[in-house]
Amino acid sequence: MSRRPGYPTYGKRFVGNTEKKEVHDLDNEKTGTYQCQIDEIIKAGHAKTFNPDTLAQAHSEGYDNCAYCIGGSSR
Protein backbone atom coordinates (compact mmCIF):
# COMPACT_ATOMS: atom_id res chain seq x y z
CA MET A 1 0.00 0.00 0.00
CA SER A 2 1.04 3.60 -0.29
CA ARG A 3 -0.33 7.10 -0.54
CA ARG A 4 -4.04 7.33 -1.23
CA PRO A 5 -5.50 9.88 -3.63
CA GLY A 6 -8.77 11.58 -2.79
CA TYR A 7 -10.60 12.15 0.46
CA PRO A 8 -9.44 12.32 3.22
CA THR A 9 -5.66 12.08 2.66
CA TYR A 10 -5.36 13.51 -0.88
CA GLY A 11 -2.08 11.79 -1.72
CA LYS A 12 -0.26 13.26 1.26
CA ARG A 13 2.72 11.42 2.72
CA PHE A 14 2.09 11.89 6.44
CA VAL A 15 -1.26 10.89 7.93
CA GLY A 16 -2.22 11.38 11.55
CA ASN A 17 -4.54 9.23 13.63
CA THR A 18 -6.52 11.80 15.58
CA GLU A 19 -7.65 9.19 18.11
CA LYS A 20 -4.18 7.94 19.10
CA LYS A 21 -2.29 11.12 18.16
CA GLU A 22 0.13 9.07 16.07
CA VAL A 23 1.58 9.98 12.69
CA HIS A 24 2.23 7.49 9.85
CA ASP A 25 4.52 7.70 6.81
CA LEU A 26 2.52 6.27 3.89
CA ASP A 27 5.68 5.92 1.79
CA ASN A 28 6.80 3.29 4.32
CA GLU A 29 3.43 1.87 5.34
CA LYS A 30 3.42 -1.50 7.11
CA THR A 31 0.28 -3.49 6.40
CA GLY A 32 0.56 -6.39 8.88
CA THR A 33 -2.08 -7.06 11.50
CA TYR A 34 -1.91 -4.40 14.25
CA GLN A 35 0.62 -2.36 12.29
CA CYS A 36 -0.31 0.93 10.58
CA GLN A 37 -3.97 0.07 9.79
CA ILE A 38 -4.32 3.16 7.61
CA ASP A 39 -7.52 1.96 5.96
CA GLU A 40 -9.06 1.37 9.38
CA ILE A 41 -8.04 4.86 10.50
CA ILE A 42 -9.64 6.37 7.39
CA LYS A 43 -12.80 4.27 7.77
CA ALA A 44 -13.15 5.35 11.40
CA GLY A 45 -12.88 9.00 10.38
CA HIS A 46 -9.69 9.49 12.38
CA ALA A 47 -7.32 10.43 9.54
CA LYS A 48 -5.81 13.89 9.25
CA THR A 49 -3.11 15.41 7.08
CA PHE A 50 -0.58 18.12 7.85
CA ASN A 51 0.22 21.42 6.22
CA PRO A 52 3.03 21.42 5.32
CA ASP A 53 3.15 17.65 4.76
CA THR A 54 6.17 17.02 7.00
CA LEU A 55 7.06 14.99 10.08
CA ALA A 56 8.19 18.17 11.82
CA GLN A 57 4.71 19.65 11.38
CA ALA A 58 3.09 16.52 12.83
CA HIS A 59 5.40 16.70 15.83
CA SER A 60 4.62 20.37 16.32
CA GLU A 61 0.93 19.41 16.54
CA GLY A 62 1.72 16.87 19.27
CA TYR A 63 1.72 13.69 17.16
CA ASP A 64 4.01 10.78 18.08
CA ASN A 65 5.73 8.51 15.54
CA CYS A 66 4.13 5.22 14.54
CA ALA A 67 6.52 2.49 15.74
CA TYR A 68 6.17 0.52 12.48
CA CYS A 69 6.53 2.97 9.60
CA ILE A 70 8.60 5.70 11.27
CA GLY A 71 9.99 4.32 14.52
CA GLY A 72 11.48 6.15 17.46
CA SER A 73 8.15 6.42 19.24
CA SER A 74 8.46 8.27 22.51
CA ARG A 75 5.63 6.25 24.11
Which residue has the closest beta carbon to Zn ion? 66
Q: Interface mask (CB under 5 A) for Zn ion, residues 34-53, using x and -?
A: --x-----------------
* Other CB atoms within 10 Å distance of the CB of residue 43: 10
Angle at 65 between CA 12 and CA 55, to 5 degrees: 45
CA dihedral 61, 37, 41, 6 (to 10 degrees): 90
Contact region with Zn ion (CB under 5 A), list: 9-17, 20-28, 45-53, 54-62:
20-28
Q: Of the candidates 4, 12, 24, 48, which one interacts with Zn ion according to CB under 5 A?
A: 24
Residue 24's DSSP bridge partners are 15
The residue (of 31 and 60) whose beta carbon lies closer to Zn ion is: 31
**If binding is defined by CB under 5 A, does position 12 make contact with Zn ion?**
no
